[in-house]
Chains A and B, each alone.
Chain A
């Protein structure tokens, strides 16, 4: 399977986009509506004109029509042909490529079995549920054995349970096929689950391209941090270099020490699961430890989120239910707060 390179691509909101998607990689693009995600897929598929270059496996594709790019595309609106049955929709690409009927029939059957829609073969798209339509669209895009698969929000507009099942099936299919995939979604949880790398797109630009772990715990700028939405962002009033690689920062009553080369920290980000809380004073040095007040407690599945106030700062801590149950904490209580030093991250202003 090939790699994909975009060099200085401009179209609509996308301006001077440069990107490399590796061979066999599942590359997930996240971003808000109108960020340019679908435009990116359209450019790779060649279904829209654009400036710049798209290279697939090192070959310039700008003059190559969509039908010869070897790209399978699951459109956001699916675009299932309403006048063709499920079977005919899937075999459309095979017939277009001149595949012999017997071979095409076998391939259609195996694809229908793979995405579990064999029983729907003779139905028309308007007779299918949302999840079934998505499966048909996936099988259709895979039918001509593309080198690259483009998936535009394949689980959107489905109920939570169906989306979950379809997502796990998709992961199985993509792992099995080892196909270079560009997957567009606005669901971060989905991105984290499925991606080899995640890219956040905002206003036509790639804000960050990194592994899921880096993406969630090492946001490169405020816009990524805000999109991830789970980090505590604290404004710093001043900072001071302690020793090489260690900086002391102040925010209201809080004094924190964090690893950083430089002296221009304006904000810091703290993952909620890196904030420990205790009803008794913990042992050890008083570094990055504070007294805070519990403002709110809420349960989210197997985790508990505790909203704390430390002076004028507000922090969100997340801890497992089991750990929380061992503490005797209620709203309004004063608690001891410990912030893990090595996972503190700076955020550029």
Chain B
């Protein structure tokens, strides 16, 4: 809340301009037009419109929250002004488009974008509609802000829930048809989008559940935490048992396509567990992690391939341990030179290593052995007792075994002496060494174990694709894995799975996202670091670390360390000197 008690029109105008520029940006780079192809609610709402109006709505909400306390009228007016101003950049785009052909400069400013911006009504009437819609939206989000908390949160959950269900309605169609039959599907979903009534129904249900949860959830949660803190071993084993059964029958529920998606998610999660050890536990930022993935994949390819490059002709199961061993050796070899580096230098050097491996794989130098740009072909799929695991819902179990091993090893390590050594090292290398930790050993072990998971993942990946090419092992894989552990929460094991679901699963399901995947990763990395550096599902230790100064902030900080006036600080970001 602002201390400023009078009406200040420059604030909503500023917010509106920001929102308008963001909306203009997403339109011009083509996100709006592309995402508009995905209907959320048939005939009412497309994903493109959600993307377009997200910034105006969010900033109107923000503007309303900056209004003087208790003056609801001002808050509503702020919201409306923000929405109104936010529409202006878009309207200028519409008019500039009528004057000159913007397409020669910006290929994504297409007639279909104009169709969306003007609601298909032509520039004149369309601009007016856009203006009205944006203003009303600003008003509504300001109104949402003014609602008491106990209504606001359920309504927001309802909105988000409806949008999510709408986004996935295409996939839902296929699954629902499988379980409930085509008749049921035709009633709730039409041409890949929710029917308006279905959407309303989902909104009401989710809102009601969220309302109930907020009202009653407190008690339920308390009971649950009591259960778990009591450490009833039987409860824990039942929980783990249920989880295992769920994972075992998952492909039956999901069908072929979704199993394939889950396989990709799990392969990345497996790498995530490995990088989590290196970055999350030991605090060594490794940007060349893909090198070990490539080592595993190429080892598997060469050992098992039935093509010209194959050596040995081993079976998948015999080759896997060799791949893991190759990963460990790779981790040690690349680990030794960087032992004395810290922080950002380490990041750049490992990035260099990753690129060197990729370029070598592409080069003519190694072509006689690993195929150069043509890659290695004809890698067989694994077999169990004569049964070829060809279909994704069969192959799933291979990936699952890998992930379970990695998760189990990580989980046991995190509490073990080695894991605690890593965390001590992450906090402060000098102090850790003074406590008797051998930095060399623990660093090398972190690199080696992390690399072994990546190699395992690479081996499974090679066998899944049955042919591999150097282009699959670029820097983006490293960035992808890094993003997923940051988003999930560094050092947190459930965070790895959550991160993989978000960053690998979502883009797989929403194919049109693929083009803007890295754009959104970039935004996500920045936003996560600004807003929630500990990740979605943080480990308890890290959360404490990142908020270590928060509790005694008012008591100690300002007196002990007066800040220069111009410095802006983010609450909760004053952690230890390195991550």
A and B form one complex = no
A residues at B contact (CB < 8 Å): none
B residues at A contact (CB < 8 Å): none
